[in-house]
Copies of this chain bind each other. A is one copy, B any other.
Amino acid sequence: MSDQLSRAFAALADPTRRDLVARLAIGDATVGELAAPYDVSVQAVSKHLQVLERAGLVSKGRDAQRRPVHLEAEALGELTSWIEKYQRRAEERFQRLEALLTEISSTTRTTTQPNPREGRTT
């Protein structure tokens, strides 16, 4: 599981592979279709797809002729779950800190209010 997470994050650490994910989000596509807009060979795209496939982010269809590549949205969900868990925890801590600072500053304001003997001279 941990290794699968590492593989998935590593798979997304490349602009071309992220482009392929973005393209596959629109719909399944064959390797040839995926390679068409790029200035790279079908072989190069195939290699990138292999990395995505080993990471569980895409799968190949069973249609023997076309073997369309399919994006595994659930696997993407596991990545966001991992990140969001810690993101949320850090944000909650920040909010508590902020609330504490607001409390301290309002307490300080109360205790440093102008001395009534010095003020209201009119």
Residues of A within 8 A of B (CB): 2-3, 5-7, 9-10, 12-15, 18, 21-22, 24-27, 71, 73, 76-77, 79-80, 82-87, 89-91, 93-94
Contacts and interface: CB of A to CB of B under 8 A. Distances in A.
- The majority secondary structure among interface residues of chain A is helix
Contacts of A18: 5, 82
Q: Report the copy number of this chain in the oligomer.
A: 2
Nearest to A28: B93
Contacts of A93: 25-27
11 contacts: A6-B14, A6-B15, A7-B13, A22-B86, A25-B87, A25-B90, A26-B93, A73-B87, A73-B91, A76-B86, A80-B87
A13 B2 CA distance: 10
Given A9-B9, A9-B12, A86 B2 contact: no
Given A10-B13, A24-B90, 12 more contacts: A6-B14, A9-B12, A9-B13, A13-B13, A25-B90, A26-B89, A27-B93, A73-B91, A76-B86, A79-B83, A80-B80, A80-B87
